[in-house]
């Protein structure tokens, strides 16, 4: 299996998206929301999460809003969303 380089996924995940609702999703549903590139696909987002944040994901949902394209990412580890949010300075 070819090892993925971080450069392959540069620009896929742009920034975390935090509101009161998404903050509650971190605590209750083990999910984080990110603004992602318009060209991002679900497999790209999963691979970018693994390459940049070393996080295993179980599910990705994509939404298009007036704020851009967003990905809601569910983590396989029980406290995965909280741990990553802490690393990113969200919590």
Please give the average per-residue pLDDT across 31-48, as a whole number: 95
Three-state DSSP at 18 gives coil
pTM: 0.87
HSE-up (13 A, CA, CB side) for residue 4:
15
Q: What is the CATH number of the domain that holds 38?
A: 3.30.70.330
Q: pLDDT tens for residues 57-77?
A: 999 999 999 989 999 999 999
Give 37's contacts (C-beta < 8 A, 6+ positions apart): 11, 12, 13, 14, 69
23 occurs within a structural domain: yes
Domain that holds residue 22: 6-88
Q: Domains in the chain: how many in total? A: 1
34 occurs within a structural domain: yes
20 occurs within a structural domain: yes
Please give the pLDDT value at position 2: 46
CA distance 49 to 19: 21
Residue 86, token pair as written in the block = 């802490």
């Amino acid at each position: 299996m070819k090892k993925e380089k971080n450069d392959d996924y540069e620009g896929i995940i742009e920034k975390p998206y935090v509101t009161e609702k998404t903050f509650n999703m971190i605590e209750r549903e083990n999910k984080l929301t990110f603004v992602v590139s318009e060209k991002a696909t679900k497999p790209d987002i999963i691979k970018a999460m693994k390459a940049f944040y070393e996080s295993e994901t179980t599910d990705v949902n994509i939404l298009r809003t007036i704020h851009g394209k967003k990905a809601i990412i569910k983590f396989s580890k029980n406290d995965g969303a909280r741990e990553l949010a802490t690393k990113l300075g969200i919590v």
